[in-house]
Structure formats: structure tokens, C-alpha cells
Chain A
Amino acid sequence: MEYLIGIQGPDFVLVAADNVAASSIIQMKHDYDKMFKLSEKILLLCVGEAGDTVQFAEYIQKNVQLYKMRNGYELSPAAAANFTRKNLADYLRSRTPYHVNLLLAGYDEADGPGLYYMDYLSALAKAPFAAHGYGAFLTLSILDRYYRPGDSALSLIRLNKRFILNLPSFTVRLIDKDGIHDMEKLPVAPGG
């Protein structure tokens, strides 16, 4: 089952996604990247039905880039999140709804870091931490217990490592005022 997690810190957002692309029982790819770069400081993490994820995420990605080309400046994370939500909502009651669950993470010069949770019914919520998938049931309670708004990046990465589930590896990225940084790809750590 696919898994996404995002945690917002004082001046950064930390996001991680698993790397599995599965087709029924077969794991077709074990190094699949589920994060789509919308702009220099915005990442869209997308899980859900097989073709819908890529189609929808690429559609949003290209539209955000088009906005930048037309207007000369980039969309803010809040604007991008609302744009994504509007598109998801428009397709929801059409004949081809997109069954995707999203996390949008970004850093804005004015507003600071932001993490937006969106589900396939196009509900949008800005949250300090969020997760999708079966792993969310396990990790949200841990986050509820241990999350402090002022946590530094390192402590949150350690927290992240603690609850890696039975998925082989994860891609972890950090967004701060300098852009998107790749953290190391975490393999499964026995015993946390």
C-alpha cells in the first residue's frame, strides 16, 4: 500500500514517500518517485489509482509552469494548492473523476513553509503534519504525541525514521528557503 507523509517545521517542510509501484501482487518498480516538482519550492506528492496519479499530477505541474511563463512569477504554495483542489473538484462530478490523494508542500517567501493535505474528494486542509495510506493510521498518532511546532529538521528526520513501515525504501525531501533538497533514500531500518 502506498504511503506519504509530510511534516512542517519552523522554516522548512519535510516530506517522504515510498518507492513502490505495484500492479496487483507484483511490485513492478521499487525505485519509483511519487513527488512531482511544481516549481522551485513546491512539491506535489501523489498516490492513488494507477494512471490517475501521473495524469493528474503532470497536468497540475504543467499548468503551474504555464502560469509562471505567462505571468513571470511563480504561484505561491497556497495558490497552487487551491488551484489543484479546484481542478480535482471539477473532475469529481464528471464522468472521469480522478482518484488521487495528495500532499502539497511548499515554501513561500511571505508565508513561510506550508503543508496542504488533499484527498480524492478534494478536501483541502493546511496542516502541520499529514499522511496518506495505511501507514497514516500508525504514524498520525505518533505525530500527535511527539510533534512540537518548533522542532528542528534533524529531530524530525529521526522521528521519520522511527516509523518506517514494511515498505522497502523511501524518498525523503526537504523544502526550505533555498529550495528542494534530496535527503538520503532511506532503506528499511530494522528496529527503527
Chain B
Amino acid sequence: MALQNVCDLHNPPLFPQWSAPLSRSFMPEDSTHLSGGGIHGEAFSTRLPGRGSLSPLEFYMPIAEYLTESPINFGQTSLSSAPTKLLEIDHLHPSLPSISLPPPTPFPVSPSVPLPFTLSHGTTTLGFAFQGGVIAAADTRSSCSGLVACPASPKVLPIHSHLVGTTSGTSADCALWKRILARELRLYQLRHRRRLSTGGAAKLLSHMLHPFKGTELCVAATLCGWDGDDEKHEQPITEKHANTPTNQMTASNSSGQSAASGASATCGPRVIYVCSDGLRLQGELFSVGSGSPYAYSILDSSVYWGMSVQEATEVAREAVYRATYRDAYSGNNVDLYHVTAKGWRRRERENLKEEYYREKERERRVIAY
């Protein structure tokens, strides 16, 4: 009885044996299995399944059948036969509970499954390196053809303490592969007692994505990280806050040491672009997504190696703002991460709507003047 309450099953028709008396489902030969005292024996006997019936502890888990349904039945406007199939099922199985079982549709096993909606790289992400580290910035709009699916999605994902990655392409693919990369990097760190460099991480990601070339997997990531010396952990923990309290970024005091190691071959800031069609490029400035041309024009004119952290933040923010202004698939907020030798720091998410109104106000004042 206690088990029944815990499982919260109220005599579902699929479990007629649940309330059946013991004698009916209890086969004579099973008595040999019952050993021990009376209470234990009784406890066992209530749990022993009868021949050909489900174990009472087994829940009805609809998951298996749920997954055999092709996901293309959701929201696919061209397929008009989908709703009629569901009606047929209700008709055929009136005894079922209100859970509508999807039919075991034999969907065509074609090499490329048609997508439920058109994908687009609707985003603006950018990353560049300068003397003070690496800046990674992105908008936060997730679009799904003409619909804004999520206005506050994080597109810059931290992978480990000294590496962040911007994501572009399919959001789900990017999130998954970022997690896989984070796992592999952590394993590498545990095995080899050192962090894998950004170039190594990019190569690893590129090789992991290579088998999926030609499929609809779409990941275009910019890995922005700092390759450091081995194990020089001077308070990296305290700097690794999720949020800086104000919008003002204090000039990082790692700029001193970074100036010395800025352009060195083995350590320093790194920006590497990795794409699921196999492209892997190391450089100093990359922008990815539908808004990238607009961002490039701002960045190409303003980014130089010797800029300060304050300047770099402003340029990145401006580039994303201009891209969201012109590109329909980018918008809402801007996320900004700054990676230094001490790790990454995140600037508070800023709503670009405010900036837009501020600019309109400025223009209005200029015109009125």
C-alpha cells in the first residue's frame, strides 16, 4: 500500500495485477523462492511479479514510444496528414487513458531528415584579442525563421576558467558541443596536469566535428582564451566572478604581465574560429553570424593591439549594437566577456533597447538644436 501511494498510481487499467490478491498471481513453484521470516516473506510476495505481468514497481514510461515518433510531426506546416493520424488513434483505442499514444509511424529513413523549421545563423558574435586579453561579445536573440524564440539566450558560453566560446548556428548543437568540449578539456587537464591550449582545444573541437561534415550539424564557434604558463594560479578563483558589480570594467592589473607576454608564441590571448564544415582559423579578430558584416565594419576601423580594456569593451559593445540595429536576427541584449591571464570576467548583460533610445534622444536633441 505504501508503495502504491509513493508511485501515485490510481488503479490504471494497464496494471490490473496491482490490486489482485496474492493467490491469483502466486504460482506454486514460486514458494520455493520465499525464504526467511514471515514478514520478509510477505514483503517479497507482494513484490514478486506473477507470470506474464509487469512488475508493480515498473512505471508506465511513455518515453520510448515518444521518441520513436518522428520529430518532424511537430509544427510542420506542409504535412497536413499529421492531425488526422492522431484522430484515428483515438478512435481505435478508446480504452486508453488521456495520454495520446503517437502511432508507430514508419517515417522514411532518408539520409537527410527534413528539418521542422528553417535554420539560420541568426546572430552576431565577435571575439578579438588585444594587449589586455580577449573580448568576446554576442547578442542574445535566438531566432527561429521569423520568430524570436528566446530574447535572452546566452551565446557566449564559458568552457573553463580561461576559455570562453561564442556560439553561432544551431543553438542546441552549439550548447551540446560546448559541453562535450568542456568535458574533454577537463579530462585532458586531469590526465596531463595542465590546461590544453586554445589551439589544442580548437583542434580537438574541429576533429570531433569532422565526422559530421555533410550533415545538418551547424556549429560556428569562436574560441577566445588565454594560454598561460603552467600552473601559475595567482588567485584565479577570486577573479572568476560571474558578474561584475557595475558596468564599469576596472582596468585589469594583468595588463602589466600581459604586455610582456602579449605577442609571445606560447602564451597570451588567442582567438580561434572553428566551424562545423571543418574550417579552423587562428587570428586576432573574428565575427560570426548574420550580423557579422555590420560588426566587422565597426571592428576593422577601431580595433588595434594597444587599446585599453575600457576602449575594447566599448568597441565590442558598439559593434554588437550596430549589428543588432541593422540585422533582424540579432537583438535584445549584449553579453560581454573579458578573458585575461587570471580567467574570464563577465560584464552584466545590457539591454540594447536603452542604448537605442539614448541614441534617438541624442539625435533628437541635435536636430532640435
Contact = CB atoms under 8 A, between A and B. Distances in A.
Interface string A139-152: 00000000000000
B278 interface: yes
Nearest to A53: B278
B283 A29 contact: yes
A87 interface: no
Nearest to B293: A26
A52 B279 CA distance: 8
B292 A54 contact: no
Nearest to A51: B278
Interface stretch (B27-35, B63-71, B206-214, B304-312): B206-214
Q: Report the 6 A-B pairs with minimum CB-CB distance, sorted nearest first.
A: A51-B278, A50-B279, A50-B277, A29-B281, A29-B283, A51-B277
B281 A26 contact: no
A28 B283 CA distance: 9
A131 B296 CA distance: 32
Given A28-B281, A32-B281, A23 B275 contact: yes
A96 B206 contact: no
Interface in B184-214: 206, 210, 213-214
B230 to A, nearest CB: 26
B278 A52 contact: yes
Contacts, number: 38
Contacts of B286: 28
A55 B213 CA distance: 12
A90 B80 CA distance: 45
Interface of B: 206, 210, 213-214, 273, 275, 277-281, 283, 286, 292-293, 296
B210 A51 contact: yes
**Residues of A contacting B: mostly:** mixed
Contact of A54 (B213, B273, B278, B293): B278
Interface string A8-52: 000000000000010101101100100000000000000001111
Contacts of B206: 51
Interface centre among A49, A54, A96 (most CB of B within 10 A): A54
A96 B126 CA distance: 31
A55 B281 contact: no
A54 B280 contact: yes
Contact of A50 (B214, B278, B283, B292): B278
30 contacts: A21-B279, A21-B281, A23-B279, A26-B292, A26-B293, A26-B296, A28-B273, A28-B279, A28-B281, A28-B283, A29-B281, A29-B283, A32-B281, A49-B278, A50-B275, A50-B279, A51-B206, A51-B210, A51-B275, A51-B277, A51-B278, A51-B279, A51-B280, A52-B278, A54-B278, A54-B279, A55-B210, A55-B278, A96-B213, A96-B214
Contacts of A96: 213-214
B255 to A, nearest CB: 26
Interface residues of A, number: 14
A21 B286 CA distance: 12
Contacts of B210: 51, 55
Which of B273, B275, B278, B293 has the most C-beta atoms of chain A within 10 angstroms of its own C-beta?
B278
Nearest to A21: B281
Contacts of B275: 23, 50-51
A52 B281 CA distance: 13
A25 B287 CA distance: 13
Given A26-B296, A29-B281, A51-B213, 6 more contacts: A21-B279, A28-B283, A32-B281, A51-B275, A54-B279, A96-B213
A49 B276 CA distance: 12
A51 B206 CA distance: 9
Nearest to B284: A29
A55 B208 CA distance: 12
Q: Which of B281, B286, B296 has the most CB of A within 10 A?
A: B281
Contacts of B213: 51, 96
B289 to A, nearest CB: 11
Contacts of A49: 277-278
Among A28, A49, A54, find the residue whose CB has the most chain B CB atoms closer than 10 A.
Answer: A28
Contacts of A54: 278-280
Interface string A95-107: 0100000000000
Contacts of B279: 21, 23, 28, 50-51, 54
A125 B199 CA distance: 35
A25 B206 CA distance: 22
Nearest to B279: A50
B329 to A, nearest CB: 16
Interface centre among A29, A49, A96 (most CB of B within 10 A): A29
A96 B210 CA distance: 10
